[in-house]
Amino acid sequence: MVVVMAPEATQEDVNAIVQLVQAAGGEAFVSRGVSRTIVGLVGDVDEFGALNLRSRAGVVDVVRISVPYKLVSREHHRNRSVIRVGGVPIGPDTMTVIAGPCAVETAEQTLTAARMAKAAGASLLRGGAFKPRTSPYAYQGLGEAGLKILAEVSAETGLPVVTEVIDPASVELVASYADMLQVGTRNMQNFALLQAVGSAAKPVLLKRGMSATVEEWLMAAEYIAQRGNLDIVLCERGIRTFETGTRNTLDISAVPVAQRLSHLPVIVDPSHSGGRRDLVVPLTRAAIAVGADGVIIDIHPEPKLALCDGDQALVDSDIRELASVAAHLPPLVGRTLPPPGPAQPGAGAAPARAATAVS
């Protein structure tokens, strides 16, 4: 941490800072320039944070140097992590495809979408039972009935399930059906929810907030990690900018940037980034090429009838193209595609648990 003094700061002002820092158990190094003096602090940054140095006489700025997250930082955990979801790995050696319908509508639609997902190379099934929607008049999801459909389709296809949770109160319910809990972009700083999934015994997919910096995203992950759950996968899904040609602006650079700062896997959502079906395959290619650890894609058997985000869902004719990309591109960046669903017979664990939970 560095304290920048004003040009008019007095010797007393500087001394006061030094004493405060020392009283807090730190060390302070003074660099006196022609027009300004700066003070370098060494010690516990959290302690210094409580000193409100910015409000002290003669201080114009306080510049933080170390990262404000610890458990998810790569600083003390050089190797990148592998997270397993119902046995399927997400990490530095694989390129994991998660696919399925934006919203679960019927058992049939979900099963058909899951089969399309599998054909496209997916090893995990996505699908929303609880939908956070900007308008209260938009489709809000099937709730627990949707979770049951997901569990059944998972049992049928062998694909573990990723689904969103939007409320601390329903974390336990969702966790009883799902293999991975998704926290959506609008909830990235819903701290009560972060703490709740941090206490759940399931891996978490944390979408980046639509106006969150990479640092804030990692601090949101830190909230989950702090409760003891380090099975976190980060998902870049586009940020909000002035550009209106796409629904959001995919921040493709965020993938290598976050991977450098954190040991957690980072995947990309090409469907919600662009918000346009014609961009999904190109953005998937870009995501694989940049080094993402996976992608999560909207698929719908009949987008024209979709109750949610039909404009961005892939249809049958796109599946072959996606399958080809998923098969050919990952090896070029040193990655393999995980097999669809867990290999061992006992893989049905998650659906089994779900079945128990709902009986």
* Residues of this chain, 39-98, that bind a second copy according to CB under 8 A: 40-43, 46, 49-50, 52, 54-56, 61, 63, 65-66, 68-69, 75
Q: Which residue has the tokens 């990690």?
A: 225
DSSP 113-151: HHHHHHHTT-SEEE-BSS---SSTTS----THHHHHHHH
Helical pair 277-290 and 316-332, crossing angle rounded to 10 deg = 10
Nearest distance in Å: CB 160, a second copy: 26
307 touches a second copy by CB under 8 A: yes
Q: Which residue has the tokens 């892939």?
A: 314
Of the candidate residues 79, 244, 317, 344, the single one contacting a second copy (CB under 8 A): 244
Of the candidate residues 30, 82, 111, 357, the single one contacting a second copy (CB under 8 A): 30
186 touches a second copy by CB under 8 A: yes
Residues from 280 through 299 that contact a second copy (CB under 8 A): 282-283, 285-291
240 touches a second copy by CB under 8 A: yes
Q: Name the residue nearer to a second copy (CB basis): 32 or 343.
A: 32
Of the candidate residues 98, 142, 204, 239, the single one contacting a second copy (CB under 8 A): 239
Q: Name the residue nearer to a second copy (CB basis): 329 or 352.
A: 329
* Nearest one of 279, 269, 281 to 322, comparing CA atoms: 281
Residues from 109 through 148 that contact a second copy (CB under 8 A): 132-138
213 touches a second copy by CB under 8 A: yes
Q: Name the residue nearer to a second copy (CB basis): 278 or 343.
A: 278
